[in-house]
Amino acid sequence: MPSNKNMIKPYKRLLTIQDISCVGQCSLTVALPILSACGHETAVLPSAVLSAHTAFNHFSFRDLTEDMPIIEQYWNQEQIKFDAFYIGYLGNRNQIQYVKSIMKSTANANCLKIIDPAMADNGKLYTGFDQSYVESMKKLCEEADYLLPNLTELCLLTDTNYREEYDESYIDKMLSKLKMFCSGTIILTGVNFIHGYTGVIIYDGKTKSYYKHKQLPQNCHGTGDVFASTFTGVLLKNNDVYDAVKIACDYTLECMIHTIQDNSHWYGTKFEITLPNLISRLSK
Can residue 50 be called a binding residue for ligand PXL (CB under 6 A)? yes
- Of 21-29, 68-76, 235-243, 274-282, which part binds ligand PXL (CB under 6 A)? 21-29
The size of the interface with ligand PXL (CB under 6 A), counted in residues, is: 14
Q: Backbone dihedral region of 248: left (phi > 0), alpha (psi from -120 to 50 degrees) or beta?
A: alpha
DSSP 251: H
> Which of 28/202 has CB closer to ligand PXL?
28
3-class DSSP assignment, residue 200:
strand
- Whose CB is nearest to ligand PXL? 54
Amino acid at 141: C
Nearer Cβ to ligand PXL (179/221): 221
Determine, following the binding rule CB under 6 A, whether residue 89 of this chain makes contact with ligand PXL. Answer: yes
Position 126 contacts ligand PXL (CB under 6 A): yes
SS3 track for 158-189? CCCCCCCCCCHHHHHHHHHHHHCCCCCEEEEE
Please state, in angstroms and rounded to a whole number, the distance separating the CA atoms of residues 145 and 231. 13
118 touches ligand PXL (CB under 6 A): yes
Distance CA 221, CA 201 (A): 20
Q: Say whether residue 27 binds ligand PXL (CB under 6 A).
A: yes
Find how far residue 229's CA is from the centre of its chain. 6
Sign of CA dihedral 45, 87, 271, 120: positive
193 binds ligand PXL (CB under 6 A): no
Q: Residue 224, interface with ligand PXL (CB under 6 A)?
A: yes
Query: Which residue lies nearer to ligand PXL by CB, 82 or 129?
Result: 129
- Identify which range of 1-9, 163-171, 176-184, 220-228 contacts ligand PXL by CB under 6 A: 220-228
Interface with ligand PXL (CB under 6 A): 19, 21, 26-27, 50, 53-55, 89, 118, 126, 222, 224-225
